[in-house]
Amino acid sequence: MSVTYTWKVEQIECRPEVGEYENVVSTVHWRLFGTDGDVQDSVYGSEKVDLVESVVFTPFEELTEETVIGWVQTKLGTERITTLKGALGKMIGDRIAPPIVPLPLPWSAA
């Protein structure tokens, strides 16, 4: 099977006021889930978000999870997202088919 990835916003931290704006997002706590059949795992992170004057401000009450995830993905960049997905895929793969490792013989002195 293949791993399916899903983003989720866990929490948003805001500054009460920045200039003329209220409830300005400053940090987004996110989780990236990977699922392969019945096996699921996740990685967690947080990203600082800067108020950009050239971008139209969206009031907190009008934000959607899709918009906020877009901000997170932009901050992370394609390379880091690929790395996160690769690590998550490996974690899931190791749970599906745990690696075989040699162990010291129990009767040998350590």
Is 106 contained in some domain?
Answer: no
Is 45 contained in some domain?
Answer: yes
Amino acid at 48: K
pLDDT of 27-76, one tens digit each?
Answer: 999 999 999 999 999 999 999 998 876 578 999 999 999 999 999 999 99
Per-residue pLDDT, 50: 85
Name the band, by pLDDT with cuts 50, 70 and 90, for residue 110: low
Domain that holds residue 73: 4-96
Q: Count structural domains, the chain.
A: 1
- Does pLDDT of 15 surpass 80? yes
DSSP string for 39-73: EEEEEEEEEE-PPPTTSPP--GGG--HHHHHHHHH
**CB neighbours of 48 closer than 8 A, spacing ≥ 6?**
26, 27, 75
**Closest C-alpha among 54, 64, 60 to residue 13:** 60
> Taking the mean position of all CA atoms in its chain, how far away is CA 93?
18
Is 13 contained in some domain?
Answer: yes
Per-residue pLDDT, 54: 56
Is 103 contained in some domain?
Answer: no
Is 71 contained in some domain?
Answer: yes
